[in-house]
Structure 1
Amino acid sequence: MCGLVGFFSPNNNKFNQEDQHRILTEMTTQITSRGPDDHGLWCDSEHGIALGFRRLSIQDLSQAGHQPMTSACGRYIMVFNGEIYNFQDLRQDLNQVEKITWRGHCDSEVILALVSRLGIEAALGKLSGMFAIALWDKQEKSLTLARDRMGEKPLYFGQESGTFFFTSEVKALYPHPDFSATINDGAVATYLRFAYVPDPLSIFKNISKLEPGHCVRIESSGQVINKSFWSPRDMFVHARSTPFQGSRDEAANELNDRLLSGIKQRIVADVPLGAFLSGGIDSSTVVALMKAVAPDRVRSFAIGFDNPRFDESPHAEAVAHHLNTEHTTFKMSERDCLDVIPDLQDVYDEPFADPSQVPTTLLCRLARQHVTVSMAGDGGDELFGGYGRYWDASAHWRKVHNLPAWRKALNKKILMGLSASPSRLARNVRKKFNRLHHDNAAQYYANHMSRWRVDEGLYPPERLSPNIYDDDLALNDDISLERALMHRDTQAYLPSNLLVKTDRASMSCGLEIRAPLLDHNLIEFIWSLPDAYTVDDHKKGILRDVLYRYVPQDIVDRPKQGFEPPLIDWLREPLKDWADDLLSADRIKNSPYYNAKVVMARWQDHRSGKRAWTYPLWTVLMLEAWLDKHQKRRG
């Protein structure tokens, strides 16, 4: 687990070796927290390529794991962030074909050997894990970038002034003289809508996120070839058209075995390892199965709060006690949480407004004092129907989707006509009509997922940048609407929100997170399961069947509880002065990104206790705090 950064100027060696080295050093320094153990640089001024790396040593702690790493054949040079969980099997396969003298026992060396034998695209198809890869081909004078199938590891790329950039975090680009750091107004509007910047957008013009399951090749001519090596849509549609045919018990057995296999691969590390445990279904399943395969006693971590409304720690402690883990609960005061908020813009280098970023950042910092790797249950809600919104949205869409086209057009006209009005009547009309004008279920769900809807007058709808929410849902006769919405979340909400939250929070303190539920082979199997095995009771069906084999039902059966702080109270009390400053009329009245009058009206409502606008306001506050940090980074 590490951080990578670099740049490539095809046919334009505008920087000599000394300049390349200086610029690259400054860029890698921006992401030191992702790799505090080691760093490496490799530059070739003749061909305009520079690769930088920060290393968090997890496997093969020796210099044999140092990057940038050159292949044994000398053709390829690579920087790689992530973990390949099947690298030992791949290493054995390679040894059966040809006797290889290995320099160490890390996965990076196996990737290079596989690429040398098969080529990059074929090699990517064999990798199981999380990864972001930048590979320079000295023979072809080309650069290939690749990102894992589920988007666990970030990878940005783009071009300005004839230079291609690539990086794990966009803040690493600021030191490069060709990077303009020009904000993308469309990405800002899209952020305000969803509270995060969805793939493939980034907050900057000319810079994009490489989409999960994609690789991009940049030729020496400057030509860019972007292609998919694993399509979540194609895999989902195929899995739903060829469903698992066994009984529910047989499916639970298969799920149990696959989870055990994936966890067994993921507990391989040369450093201390633990697991996050909230006491919910996902994390409890991961910890329970860890205990079944781990050679040592499992270490588990939970965070508790003074406010019992937000405190899950007793549930986690009950599970930990049953499983006999070495459990640590970090009890947090309100002051502990508030002290994290000024640091958030260093952690999240794009605007990001998921309130659970606060406890997640705290938990990662505290766990890092004990371990270097932690397991997590990310992905369970999207794969097994953990969110009630799938049924709420589906039920309402089925009621309204057959409205006549003229009625939908009229409803939309009424909504947009009232979008700029702050009156209570206008708000009530918008609330009544905002779900009655969509042409398809994809548009409806995008509206359902919006923090600031397009009809609320905050931003011009035409400013929104195209993103994954614009794509049609994967629907056909074999796919229910609920499963299609779950799949949309695996394409959008999971990689662009949840995994961003986890990656940035953990890597800001040099902690690696591993998520067994995101194994692509496991996901393809889960997608093939009938609805009756997964989402029939709204309670993660078959995943509970597996968990009950290890933990009594009465310990883990409870209503779902969000991992969020009491923002509604904080914004009225301890954070009020901070928010007043960021949302002051003098500061935001001329904002180029949103309608300040709408924001100020809602802030006054919230401050007075008249009405709570917690999450929309947090979205604007995180943007304004990020803009402050952006100006400081630009110098």
Structure 2
Amino acid sequence: MCGITVSIALSSGKVPSQASDHVNGRDIDEKTAISHNGHSDQHASLRDKLNRSLDLIAHRGPDSKGVWISENGAVGLAHNRLSINDLSADGDQPIHSDDGQIHAVVNGEIYDHDRIRDEFMREHGYHFKSRADTEVVVALYKHYGAPKFLEHLRGEFALVLYDEGLGKVIAARDRFGIKPLFYTRVRDDQGERLLLAAEAKAFLALDWKAEWDVGAIVDGGWQHDNRTLFSGVLKVLPGHWMEVTLEGGHVQEHRYWDLEYKDKRDVETRPVEEMIRGVREHLTEAIRLRLRADVPVGIYLSGGIDSSLVAGIVTHLVREQGVKLGNRDATSRVCCFSIEFPRESGFDESDIAERTAKWLGVQILKKRMDEATLAESFADSVYHCEHHNFDLNSVGKFVLSTVPREHGYKVVLTGEGADEHFAGYPFFPADFLGEADYSMPDSPLTKDNTLREALQHKALANLDETLFHARRLGFFSHGSWKEDCEAFRAVNNVRMPLGAQMSQPTLESLFAPWVQQRYAGVNCPMVAVAALSPESRHKITNKWHPLHASEYIWSKSLLANNILSCLGDRTEMAHSIEARPPFLDHVLSDYVNGLPPSLKVGYTPEKTKTICTGEEDNQDPWWEGVDVIRTAFTEKWILREAGKPFITQELYERKKHPYTAPNRWPKNGPVHRMLQTICAREKVENLGFVNYNAIKNALDTGFGDDADALAFRGLLLTASWVTLSERFGIEQAQAAK
């Protein structure tokens, strides 16, 4: 685990600038001449810049740092280390191949590295310097080349390596985008340089000046394609690799992996019990691999089934099979970390987490998350995330990540990814009902299209009422799920392009007049569709069941660009915590994606008769009003069955509650005062693209017992932009740009 910064000298040409140009590996750059000036003063200048860049992201790796610069000064690799495997200096980076021709920096974790190391020593005579997992990356590359070596990497990673023999730089990001990797282009005294880093703030020491990408903010594209909030700063997309050829300066980006699902016309012949057992075995193996470390390993535990199942399987592996929990043996107590919101808010799950911990016999350490703590931590959380968020849940995760470090932990296991693979969110059933599940012809909904269509109509009506028109939650503000629109038609009437626009504000609700004029008619759901590759759109239309298409779109948008950032890597690494999400093991996901949709969203026919009675269980603000989904369907059905031996009956029966923070706070309380300070007139107007009158109104209507949730979430977005503008030194956005 680490923070990385890379500098590659360019004298002319361009780097990739549009996500649509990346997908098929087309040559994006003009001919680019690479500078080969190796003067010592230039080396010293570059080394100084790289060191200062590392200081800006020292939180990602406080244990050591290193810089390597090629002899001709064309390539500079810099690295902050968070030591997890092989704590000795032998594991420091940058790392080099045994023949000294390949140099690399790796951010993340490579699992099963012991097996790979043994195989290469035995069969290829490779000489390893360390026992660190990252060193297998250069060995695999040396043997297989790019992109073949990436197929052998199981884990989460962002990496950059320089092959001196071929004169190429290779950069790659893991399959789901768990680890970040950004790039941009700058000009210094020696010409143009291509920069890559784990966080955009690292570029500030490398002659980069931050500017807003107002278009990416307005149309929500930063959540779907390769753009960020910063103009000219792009992401290496999940499952992609970049190739920079120094002679001629060609830069290409290719895809090496993508999510795949079974053909919706293929009839499933495996017994259901066999598939339940398959999920259990694959998940257990994914968790077992993630317990390997030379430091203690803990668990983030919420009140949901995902993290509780991880905790249950970990406890089973440690006690029943004697598996070591990091560097601790089976006699050590499993330690979990949880967050506690105010109980009166309706968003607190800590009591359920505590009951789970007691049932498992594990230790639980809770972090009280009161209003004052959230207000005090907001700005720091935003600075580390480098993007806005519509909820304070990211601030809660930011503060929670202080607890493992306080108790001597560097590694935690988490539950991210389960909802995407097993259809856990309440809007997935609407797409599940979009077509019959022909892989299971005996299913009641496959036999009765009239019933299925009636249920879908009711599901869409529920979602429309609860998530859009009700201002209680304020998650969505872009139209209706029931309406026919271009985005739905483009993806076989899957509704997820709209769901993926979580709290994307409408033009008239927040933005300045010139922004409203310039971006009039912007179609945010179509931005989500346009970010999809032609291959995936073809499969969505012709091959995949709508539920799987919905999972795919969500995984490529909100999961990769929001959840795994502000609820994952960025808030965890802010406190030097490596989080390992076993549900995002690609071997597990490949298996789960081959399962029938009807095993992910379980249908209970006998409960259908209660759908229109008006009887609702309103204990959960997320599910309030979603009667057809709550009563007739069970989300993550097969995961519940696979995990039943490891969780309490309470969790087995409990409905999904997404991790969200309270969105209703008192007037003149800590959160209100914090937002009043950050969103002062001068600061908001300095952004250049926000209408202060809308913010002034939101500060009046977004708090108290009758608070407007959309107004409150608009304040969170604006306060995030103000915070970033101040800490990154961003000048006011101008209408002329």
Question: TM-score, normalising length from structure 2?
Answer: 0.76
CA gap 1:612/1:589 in 2 versus in 1, 3 angstroms: same
CA gap 1:257/1:223 in 2 versus in 1, 3 angstroms: same
Instruction: Determine helix, strand or coil for the equivalent of 2:549.
Output: helix
CA displacement at 1:581 relative to structure 2: 3.4
For the residues of structure 2 that align with 1:396 and 1:594, how far apart are their CA atoms?
38
- Partner in structure 1 of residue 25 of structure 2: none
Gaps of 5+ in 2: 11-33, 324-329, 436-452, 458-470, 603-632, 733-737
- Partner in structure 2 of residue 246 of structure 1: 270
Q: 1:611 aligns with which of 694, 705, 708?
A: 708
Q: In the alignment, does 2:311 pair up with 1:287? A: yes
Following superposition of structure 1 onto structure 2, how do residues 103-252 of structure 1 map, counting pairs within 5 Å? Answer: 103-161=129-187, 162-177=192-207, 179-191=208-220, 197-220=223-246, 221-232=248-259, 235-236=260-261, 238=262, 245-252=269-276
Following superposition of structure 1 onto structure 2, how do residues 514-525 of structure 1 map, counting pairs within 5 Å? Answer: 514-525=580-591
CA gap 1:516/1:244 in 2 versus in 1, 3 angstroms: farther
CA displacement at 1:377 relative to structure 2: 0.6
Q: In the alignment, does 2:379 pair up with 1:347? A: no
- Partner in structure 1 of residue 327 of structure 2: none
Q: 1:581 aligns with which of 649, 663, 677?
A: 677
Following superposition of structure 1 onto structure 2, how do residues 214-613 of structure 1 map, counting pairs within 5 Å? Answer: 214-220=240-246, 221-232=248-259, 235-236=260-261, 238=262, 245-294=269-318, 295=323, 296=330, 297-308=333-344, 309-370=346-407, 371-392=409-430, 436=483, 438-441=485-488, 442=491, 444-450=495-501, 451-454=503-506, 456=508, 458=511, 459=516, 460-461=519-520, 468-471=528-531, 474-476=539-541, 478-501=543-566, 502-536=568-602, 537-569=633-665, 573-589=669-685, 591-607=687-703, 609=706, 611-613=708-710
CA displacement at 1:252 relative to structure 2: 0.9
Instruction: Determine helix, strand or coil for the equivalent of 2:107.
Output: strand
For the residues of structure 1 that align with 2:239 and 2:75, how far apart are their CA atoms?
24
Letter in 1 for 2:250: Q
Mean CA deviation greater in 567-576 or 28-37 = 567-576
Instruction: Determine helix, strand or coil for the equivalent of 1:569.
Output: coil
For the residues of structure 2 that align with 1:467 and 1:431, how far apart are their CA atoms?
13
Tell me how many residue pairs correspond in the alignment. 602
Letter in 1 for 2:198: S
CA displacement at 1:168 relative to structure 2: 0.2
- Partner in structure 2 of residue 4 of structure 1: 4
For the residues of structure 1 that align with 2:696 and 2:357, how far apart are their CA atoms?
46
CA gap 1:25/1:571 in 2 versus in 1, 3 angstroms: farther
For the residues of structure 2 that align with 1:545 and 1:301, how far apart are their CA atoms?
25
Instruction: Determine helix, strand or coil for the equivalent of 1:64.
Output: helix
CA gap 1:393/1:572 in 2 versus in 1, 3 angstroms: farther
- For the Cα contact (< 8 Å) 2:160–2:172, is it kept in 1? yes
For the residues of structure 2 that align with 1:80 and 1:571, how far apart are their CA atoms?
47
For the residues of structure 1 that align with 2:702 and 2:676, how far apart are their CA atoms?
11
CA displacement at 1:154 relative to structure 2: 0.3
- Partner in structure 1 of residue 54 of structure 2: 28
- Partner in structure 2 of residue 408 of structure 1: none
Letter in 2 for 1:508: A
For the residues of structure 2 that align with 1:243 and 1:518, how far apart are their CA atoms?
26
CA displacement at 1:434 relative to structure 2: 8.3
For the residues of structure 1 that align with 2:180 and 2:671, how far apart are their CA atoms?
31
Mean CA deviation greater in 373-382 or 8-17 = 8-17
Aligned-CA RMSD value: 3.0
For the residues of structure 1 that align with 2:718 and 2:431, how far apart are their CA atoms?
26
Question: TM-score, normalising length from structure 1?
Answer: 0.87
Residue-by-residue CA offset, 1:245-280 (whole Å, 9 max, x unaligned): 312211111111111111111100000111011131
- For the Cα contact (< 8 Å) 1:353–1:622, is it kept in 2? no
Identity of aligned residues (%): 24
Instruction: Determine helix, strand or coil for the equivalent of 1:628.
Output: helix
- For the Cα contact (< 8 Å) 2:210–2:729, is it kept in 1? no
For the residues of structure 2 that align with 1:633 and 1:97, how far apart are their CA atoms?
57
For the residues of structure 1 that align with 2:522 and 2:55, how far apart are their CA atoms?
35
CA gap 1:243/1:351 in 2 versus in 1, 3 angstroms: farther
Instruction: Determine helix, strand or coil for the equivalent of 2:147.
Output: helix
Instruction: Determine helix, strand or coil for the equivalent of 2:206.
Output: coil
For the residues of structure 2 that align with 1:104 and 1:270, how far apart are their CA atoms?
13
Instruction: Determine helix, strand or coil for the equivalent of 2:647.
Output: coil
- For the Cα contact (< 8 Å) 1:40–1:68, is it kept in 2? yes
Letter in 1 for 2:181: L
Mean CA deviation greater in 75-84 or 2-11 = 2-11
Instruction: Determine helix, strand or coil for the equivalent of 1:90.
Output: helix
Instruction: Determine helix, strand or coil for the equivalent of 1:165.
Output: strand
CA displacement at 1:526 relative to structure 2: 0.6
